[in-house]
Amino acid sequence: MGRFGRIQTAAAAALVAVVSIALVFAERYPAAERSAQLRVIEFNEPDGQILSYRHLAGSTEVRMRGTELAPQANLHLKIGSRPGFVELDINRGQINGLVPAPHLGKDFLTYVLWAVSVDGHAANLGEITFNGASPVSINVTTPYQTFWLMITAEPSYAVVDPSSSVVMYSVKQDLVTDNRALPIQGDLFYFTHYANYESAPGAATGNVPNQLLQARKAVELASKSGVLVADRSGSAGLKEEAYTREALSQAMTFLDRAEDAYRKNPKDQEVVQFARTAAQSAENARALALGAVGGLLVHQLENEVANLRNELARLRASPPEERLKSDPAAHAAANPGAATPPPMGASPLPIAVAAPPLVKQPAVWFAVVGWVLAVVLLFRRRSL
């Protein structure tokens, strides 16, 4: 075999490997599992401010203002530095102008207060709850010393990442006192995996407890997230994936217990107890499935890369003729003038059937890239 023949064989082998990797990746990572992305939400509102609280200097008053989603909302809270943490206190009656969360989207059932660090990490401080139309006093803490505050509409109290529906945010302080917080220059932004929610207003829910509604929504969202979408009951999988599915199973169990308690006595405290536990477990499962916490997606990718490397090694070890025979796509690419015969017993496809657009065929794009590399190598060797 001459030099040109060897180069052709090497190019064909490279093409087989590239196409095989593309097909295996597309098969093992469905679109639903590749959709989770860490997004940055840039927050551009007038007077938004990052504040640094003076260590052990006593309490200072901070004001929060409503965004265009809640233009009438406002809030005053006291924030003070304590040994080892910063304490935030919202008294009853000091929050006004918030409409029920379902008005902002049918996926939203409550509000959550967040402390956002200077590097964009948002920490869930607690749920903003109401007794009828009146807010309930809350007292929460954070280990952060420097942060800005926001309130977002959320599907449940237990979310680990905020939505993009910010209704209130902290602004510059007007008071000049000895314990006044130190303003910090910087952009206001945060990261989240949970940017996509239904924005159409939700329907009336009757007298169903809000905690039970949150549990139902949390289980629904978790069931549609990442690896939890696909049925992998017959696969070995990773232990992280098994834990994720176990968390969802626990959430469903607690939701069933909450529903059963609600049917027996809608005012039973067990309804709220089981519902909040169900929401917590479901949100844990969703966070794991989307990569918001833990390393499930990273371990999945590492596992699949190892499998692809093994597949590539197997292809390299097999004879060139076998490589082409084992992959019809590579055979067609290596022999563009030859028609690929249909499988035995299969009727030929009608000519009128239209092929899917190239943009929806990642394997074809990988094949094109493989051939371009082969041509480049060919001309490079001929020039030597």
Residue 130 scores a pLDDT above 80: yes
Q: Which pLDDT belongs to residue 11?
A: 45
Enter the DSSP assignment of 229: T
Q: Is the pTM of this model over 0.85?
A: no
Residue 383 scores a pLDDT above 70: no
Question: What is the rounded CA–CA span in Å between residue 205 and residue 130?
Answer: 16
Question: What is the rounded CA–CA span in Å between residue 93 and residue 136?
Answer: 8
Tens of pLDDT, residue by residue over 62-86, are 999 999 999 999 999 999 988 889 9
Q: Which pLDDT belongs to residue 227?
A: 74
Q: How far apart are the first and last CA of the chain?
A: 19
Helix/strand/coil (H/E/C) assignment for every residue in 45-109? CCCECEEECCCCCEEEEEEEEECCCCCCCEEEEEEEEECCEEEEEECCCCEECCCCHHHHCCCCC
Question: What is the rounded CA–CA span in Å between residue 171 and residue 45?
Answer: 9
